[in-house]
Amino acid sequence: MKILVTGGCGFIGSHFIRRLLMEGNNDKIKIINMDKLTYAGNPNNLKDVKSDKRYKFIKADICGRRAVEKCMKGTDIIVHFAAETHVDRSIIDAGSFVRTDVLGTCVLLESARKAGVEKFVHISTDEVYGSVEKGRFRENDAVMPNSPYAASKAGGELLARSYFVTHGLPVVIVRSSNNYGPFQHPEKFIPHSITNLLRGRNIRIYGNGSNIRDWLFVKDNCAALETVMKKGKPGESYNVGGGHEKTNIDAARKIADIMGMRDCIEFVRDRKGHDFRYALNWKKTAALGWKPETGFDSGLAGTVKWYRENEWWWKPLVS
């Protein structure tokens, strides 16, 4: 089986590739990792598997039709991670998000249609739903994105759905909650907080820190993605949550406590359009045989430990 992974040098994509190569009996798979290697794509994320004969890396942009069609030849399954993902950056430069997350997705979908792939797994985000004060979003709830990033991801997944309805392309969509863990770029909240403290700086919190996120350890997310890849029904969407809702200030305090630096938190001006709370109902994914296994405290402690021990990886990425 040939699996094309886009954005495989990114945070979640690299963990997913490592899972497929290192867990279970997967001797007969071949993984093609297609990545443009933007600032968020780091070859060091897969340093330990680059010599595996089942793995091949190709540097290419998903917006490039010829490169995509070349990579798509013989592909059985495509798992599409490649995207611009940082909300703060999308507020400053929405155009690059539309190009990658919408146009790039369109190029992939059309190429996959022509190639006759068996399944197209589109990786999306809980942010497409917008904010919810009470309850949890279900897969059939309307998408109401509030940031340019979330809007670009919603646009990409709506295109994916249209290719299922119009062309019969076997698309499944996965919407995951906030991931954390090793190899996450230091621009994101948890690694940003950890690496700031490691450099003697404060954790910076938007507003008053009351915004709520559901935290999902990256390895649990990748287990869910593999489950949906194998068992998900074409034309359906699947939510993946961690079951660990925390306010931003509570998450920051946990990080500070682990690192013995409780007084190193400061509040800054809130972000434009800052969603208050994300929350997902993921019973549909659980029905496929998946559940998260990592507690937030243990996952966070392990993540802090990893950043402490791997300065070689993150220091070149921070200023």
> Do residues 255 and 193 lie in contact, with contact meaning Cβ atoms separated by under 8 Å?
yes
How many Å apart are CA 282 and CA 141, to the nearest integer?
13
- Exposure string of 158-177, with b = 16+ CB inside 10 Å and e = fewer, is bbbbebbeeeebbbbbbbbb
127 in active site: yes
Which candidate in 101, 126, 214, 275 is catalytic?
Answer: 126
Handedness of CA 205, 207, 212, 214 (dihedral sign): negative
183, containing H or E segment: none
Which candidate in 55, 129, 149, 278 is catalytic?
Answer: 149
Cβ neighbour number for residue 83 with a 10 Å cutoff: 24
Nearest residue to 184 (alpha-carbon basis) of 74, 274, 85, 56:
85
22, containing H or E segment: helix 11-22
> What residues pair up with 169 in beta bridges, in sequence order?
none
Which candidate in 35, 61, 84, 127 is catalytic?
Answer: 127
Residues 6+ apart with CB under 8 A from 45: 9, 10, 11, 14, 183
SS3 26: coil
101 in active site: no
Angle at CA of residue 198, ends 255 and 19, nearest 5°: 65
How many Å apart are CA 235 and CA 33, to the nearest integer?
25
Tokens of 262: 């409780």
126 in active site: yes
Which residue matches tokens 């809980």? 126
How many Å apart are CA 272 and CA 86, to the nearest integer?
13
Phi-psi region of 134 (alpha: psi -120 to 50; beta: other; left: phi over 0): beta
Q: Please identify every residue annotated as catalytic.
A: 126-127, 149
